[in-house]
Homo-oligomer: A and B are copies of this chain.
Amino acid sequence: MGFYPGNIALYQTAFRHKSAASETSHGSKNSNERMEYLGDAIFGSVIAHYLFKKFPYKDEGFLTKMRSKIACREFMNKLAVKMGINQFVIYQGDKNSRFKSINGDAFEALIGAIYLDKGYDFAEKFILERIINLHVDMEEVETTETDFKSKLINYIQKEKKSMQFDIEEEQIKGHQKQYKVSLIIDDELVGKGLDVSKKRAEQQAAHKACEFFNIL
């Protein structure tokens, strides 16, 4: 990763999934979850500033959307594998079936560890030079819409399940109509969505279903 760690214990904790954690003498766990919480925040603010500078004439709606695409769980998991972080993760049990975000979580925790070890400016430089410049194609991020419905349909076809979107129109206070979507897969309600746009309500429901089936 281009640098020597100062406090190695921080990095050891960053790679320890909760399944492999033990209890400390204070009754807390030595897993990477606290560090992941911290790394998530640091990563978020570095990306926020990066986008702020890169797109000086775009409004905050655009910036927020771009950031949420880069900071999303799926993107994190991919980045973690691309960078080889998955090789260092310590866990117990079957990684693939149970812990879908184990690599992305470790990736965030690593950011937290670097920040604690080396400070904000170093962490920022690491994120920009080693992650964004090497692994993120900003134009691709800009043009990619996360399409949960397509993702779900692929899965449904592969698994030979049945799928049905139930859509209700609803009049909410005032004039605007809302769409209430219930997504039923194999006779079970697995996701719901509510939005003034039918398409967005469906995407919400599909997103929940993707989470449910662990296919994000």
List residues of A whose CB falls within 8 A of some B CB. 24, 26-29, 33-34, 36-38, 40-42, 44-45, 47-49, 52, 56-60, 63-64, 67, 115, 120-121, 124, 170, 172-173, 188-190, 192, 194, 212
Contacts and interface: CB of A to CB of B under 8 A. Distances in A.
Given A48-B37, A48-B41, A49-B38, A172 B194 contact: no
A59 B29 contact: yes
Contacts of A189: 170, 172-173
B58 A36 contact: no
Chain A interface main SS type: helix
A36 to B, nearest CB: 7
A36 B52 CA distance: 11
Nearest to A119: B121
A60 B41 contact: no
A57 B173 contact: no
> Which residue of A36, A60, A67, A173 has the most chain B CB atoms within 10 A of its CB atom?
A60
